[in-house]
Amino acid sequence: MDHSHIIDQLPYAEPFLFVDELIAVDENGAMGSYTFYGDSYFYKGHFKDLPVTPGVILTECCAQIGLVCLGVFLLGEASKGVEIGLSSSQMEFLLPVFPNEKVSVSSQKLYFRFNKLKCSVKMYNSEGKLVCKGEISGMLKTHTHA
């Protein structure tokens, strides 16, 4: 099933959009992928002799795929013009992600109450090895147009 309409509703644009494909989404979670291209702005100084994707960018990728895409899906028609504020994240980093590496992210909804969504997220590299995991939560805000 094509989920590009969900990606189109995300409040992000290049160079800060970290979702290439949304593979699956339902009321319990989301799965998607992203490739960290070698010419991305954050590799220029992190680290100068051996570039590695910063943990904060890995967390953002997990949040965009695992939390925000799921939130847009859960809000349905109310998701037009959605805004999200990350309220907490607790991540454990296990392996580095290098330039030009494709990752996949999966999430499992822990709860969605009063527009607060909390998910368990996992990121895997192209070899299927766990890169990072954790819990991310955020507040979803929708605009009502008169």
The contacts of residue 122 (CB under 8 Å, 6+ apart) are: 105, 106, 107, 130, 132, 133
Beta strands in the chain (DSSP E): 21-26, 29-36, 83-93, 101-113, 116-125, 130-141
pTM for the complete prediction?
0.93
Structural domains present in the chain: 4-141 (3.10.129.10)
Among residues of the chain, what percentage have pLDDT more than 90?
A: 78
pLDDT of residue 142: 77
Better-predicted residue by pLDDT, 35 or 146: 35
Checking if the pLDDT of 146 tops 50, the result is no
Residue 76 has what pLDDT?
Answer: 85
pLDDT digits (tens, 9 = 90+) for 38-67: 999 999 888 888 999 999 999 999 999 999
Query: How many whole angstroms separate alpha carbon 47 and alpha carbon 54?
Result: 9
Taking only the tens place, the pLDDT of each residue in 69-90 is 999 999 987 767 778 888 999 9
Residue 144: predicted pLDDT? 58
